[in-house]
Amino acid sequence: MSQVVYITESEPSTSIDISQTQPDWMHPQLIQSTDPTKGRQFRASGLIPKGACLLVDRPYAVIPVVDEPATNDNLICSNPACNRRAPRHSASARNPCPNACIADVIWCSDACRDADKDRHAFECTWLKRYAGPIRAKWGEYDFGMLWVIVRLLAMRQSQLQHVDSGTSTSPSPKKWKYGWEGIDSLCGSADTWSHDKVRAWTTLVKKYLQNGPVLPHGMTSDRVLHLICQEEANSFGLYPRATGVVPLPYPPIDRGEQFAAAVYPIAAIANHSCLPNITHKPDEQGRMVFTASRDIVPGEECCISYFDLTQYTALASRREHLRQSFKFVCQCERCLSEEPADEPTEWNAMPMMDL
Ligand SMILES: [Zn+2]
Ligand SMILES: [Zn+2]
Ligand SMILES: [Zn+2]
């Protein structure tokens, strides 16, 4: 964030320079490299001590978990420069859309609503027309997925407008890809997912996400389908407590209830390990924060856990969960060390995905 205008000490900034979408912090020893099987990955170029903050990455798109907006304590401010959680008991922190699109859309203040006017205009008509029918026919999961896609497209649109109006984008040092460029290079394609899934998503794109007056994104339906394949492989759930704490505390403390889902251009590079050296947790602005949970030596890969380690503990349950949700068979050091010695390994040729 380049221009932080503090109204009072605690007042958040309400405007964001959308062309500036790089992370707010990256550890100088955190580098990107490529592994022949896993694809992109994070590595340490020098010693990163335990407790060091590796990354603070801004979501390119984030939505609240959308089950019951009226009783949900977890709505978040729609302004991308804010993303703060807006509790239900605080009426002043829940400014609804003047166009009454959906109850899940709120801003924490008038200032946030005004600052977010143009970006929200892109999604407002779509939400008003399709949120009800999609929820009724396809359910909350698919609605949330499509809304994330619409928010990705809305942010891209804002970013393009900024570039067109001559705002210079910051050069990307060390070949990090920020903003839409980062979303564009996320792993995942139609080949990643089952034919049934891809067929269902194709139908959803045709019905709800085509370029047109309701959603003027200018992209082909194939590209939007590809974006769903990427989003499904790379989105993060946002939970109140850290994910990937090792060793497991006793008694185990889970990460809590999911309150949002988001796509991060840089954080998505992290691969999974069932014995991760990084914990991840969103901060109060929905930014994803990576913290070293032990000393990380030069050359070592920096990994997160894609799931709550307190939930899947046995080798078989971890592998099954990862295979189903992320389409790879985990070969991390913990999984390999827990494999029964007399059983032949069922190696799977499927490449490991970023997230
Ligand atoms: Zn706000
Ligand atoms: Zn609206
Ligand atoms: Zn594993």
Percentage of residues in the chain with pLDDT exceeding 90?
74
Question: DSSP secondary-structure letter at 92?
Answer: G
By the 8 A CB rule, do 221 and 208 touch? no
Mean pLDDT of the chain: 88
The string of pLDDT tens digits covering residues 119-177 is 999 999 999 999 999 999 999 999 999 999 999 999 999 888 876 544 445 544 557 89
The string of pLDDT tens digits covering residues 24-52 is 999 999 999 999 988 999 999 999 999 99
Query: Is residue 287 helix, strand or coil?
Result: coil
Rounded distance from Cα 116 to ligand 1 centre (Å): 9
Rounded distance from Cα 15 to ligand 1 centre (Å): 9
Question: DSSP secondary-structure letter at 274?
Answer: S
Is the pLDDT at 115 greater than 50, yes or no? yes
What pLDDT is recorded for position 89? Answer: 73
Nearest listed ligand to the Cα of residue 78 = 1
Rounded distance from Cα 347 to ligand 3 centre (Å): 13
The string of pLDDT tens digits covering residues 84-93 is 988 777 767 7
Angle between helix axes 195-208 and 221-234 (nearest 10 degrees) is 120
Rounded distance from Cα 92 to ligand 2 centre (Å): 18
Percentage of residues in the chain with pLDDT exceeding 70?
85
Nearest listed ligand to the Cα of residue 85 = 1
Rounded distance from Cα 93 to ligand 1 centre (Å): 8
Domains of the chain: 1-355 (3.90.1410)
Rounded distance from Cα 78 to ligand 2 centre (Å): 10
Nearest listed ligand to the Cα of residue 323 = 3
Write out the residues surrounding ion ligand 1, Cβ under 5 A. 77, 79, 82, 108, 112
What pLDDT is recorded for position 175? Answer: 77
Query: Is residue 68 helix, strand or coil?
Result: coil
What pLDDT is recorded for position 207? Answer: 98
Write out the residues surrounding ion ligand 3, Cβ under 5 A. 274, 330, 332, 335
The CA distance from 117 to 247, in Å, is 45
What pLDDT is recorded for position 2? Answer: 44
